Amino acid sequence: FSQSFIDIREKERKRGARGLVSIPLKYPKIDEKLLAEEMNESHENTSNTNGNSPFKPEDLLELQEIINKEIFSSKVQEKEMQELQAKINQKLLNSKVFNFEHQGLYKNTKKMNRLKSSGSAKARTMMNLHNNEAGRRAVIKKSRITCKCHGVSGSCSLITCWQQLTSMREIGDYLHEKYDEATQVKINKRGRLQVKDPRYKVPSALDLVYLDESPDWCRTNRQLQWPGTHNRVCNKTSLGLDGCAILCCGRGYNTKKIVVKERLCIV
pLDDT in tens, 84-101: 666 766 665 565 555 544
- Tens of pLDDT, residue by residue over 97-140, are 555 444 454 455 555 555 555 567 888 888 999 999 999 999 99
Helix (H, G, I), strand (E, B) or coil at 181: coil
pLDDT of residue 152: 81
CA distance 230 to 116: 37
Indicate the pLDDT class of residue 169, thresholds 50, 70 and 90: very high
- Window from 21-25, 94-98, 133-137, 253-257 with minimum mean pLDDT: 21-25
**Residue 182 contacts residue 207 (beta carbons within 8 Å):** yes
Backbone angles phi, psi at 230, to 5 degrees: -70, 145
- Tens of pLDDT, residue by residue over 50-76, are 444 455 556 656 666 666 666 556 555
pLDDT of residue 228: 85
| CA atoms 203, 205, 206, 207: torsion sign | positive
pLDDT of residue 20: 34
Q: What is the pTM of this model?
A: 0.46
pLDDT of residue 47: 47
pLDDT of residue 192: 85
Which helix (H) or strand (E) segment is 21 a member of? none
**Residue 105 contacts residue 97 (beta carbons within 8 Å):** no
Which helix (H) or strand (E) segment is 243 a member of? none
What is 186-240 written as a DSSP string?
Answer: EE-TTS-EEESSTTSPPP-TTS-EESSPPP-TTS-BTTTTB--STT---BTT--S
pLDDT of residue 179: 92
Give the start-to-end residue ranges of the domains of the chain. Answer: 2-14+117-210, 32-112, 227-256
- Window from 140-144, 145-149, 214-218 with minimum mean pLDDT: 214-218
CA dihedral (194, 197, 203, 209) in degrees, to 10, reads -80
pLDDT of residue 41: 54
pLDDT of residue 113: 55
CA distance 73 to 92: 18
CA 121-125-128 angle, 5° bins: 140
Question: Which bin fits 252, alpha (ψ -120 to 50), beta or left (φ > 0)?
Answer: left
Indicate the pLDDT class of residue 175, thresholds 50, 70 and 90: very high
Indicate the pLDDT class of residue 172, thresholds 50, 70 and 90: very high
pLDDT of residue 210: 92
Backbone angles phi, psi at 133, to 5 degrees: -65, -40
- Window from 33-47, 107-121, 167-181, 228-242 with minimum mean pLDDT: 33-47
